[in-house]
Amino acid sequence: MKLALLSVGKVKDQRMTSLIDDYLRRLRGSAQVDWEVVKAAGATLPKQEVMRAEAEKLLGRLKSDDVVVLLDEKGVQWSSQQLAQWLGKQRTVARRVVFVVGGPWGTAVALQRRADVVLSLSRFTLQHDLALLVLAEQLYRAFSILSGHPYHK
């Protein structure tokens, strides 16, 4: 199965990057995983223009047959087990599942419409880099559940 994490802006703290990379490395035993970063739009632009520009960049990285999961605080919340079950089903039908983490202002309507699933990691608002870390860990956990690995207790 192919997975992709698609995010806006570089992770600023190298320690956080290292943790994310560690979970993605572990995950590569179960799935092909890529992490793509698009450049954040200019901070001097109005909020709506930033969201539109970032959405264009993100949409440009998606393929027509991708299953897109957009992370958004207003999305559905799943347990680790539910994520694992969903990914287990996607293994048989999807060529690539792409998890999209937008910029700090959120995502434009065009990107929200393209999403097959809008997923919330928590009712808390998470800082962008922390959301990527939580996502990477939960993906690793989900595949651990699917393979019967004892990581998920």
* Angstrom distance (rounded) from CA 111 to CA 108: 6
Task: Considering only residues 12 and 98, tell me which one the structure prediction assigns the higher pLDDT.
Answer: 98
> Which segments of 69-127 does DSSP mark as H helices, in order?
80-93, 109-114
Predicted TM-score (pTM) of the model is 0.95
Structural domains of the chain, ranges and CATH numbers in brackets: 2-97+109-117+126-147 (3.40.1280.10)
Q: Would you call 33 exposed, middle or buried from its count of C-beta atoms within 10 A (0-12, 13-18, 19+)?
A: buried
Mean pLDDT for 95-103 is 96
State pLDDT tens for residues 13-53: 999 999 999 999 999 999 999 999 999 998 788 999 999 99
How far is Cα 124 from Cα 111, in angstroms, rounded to an integer?
22
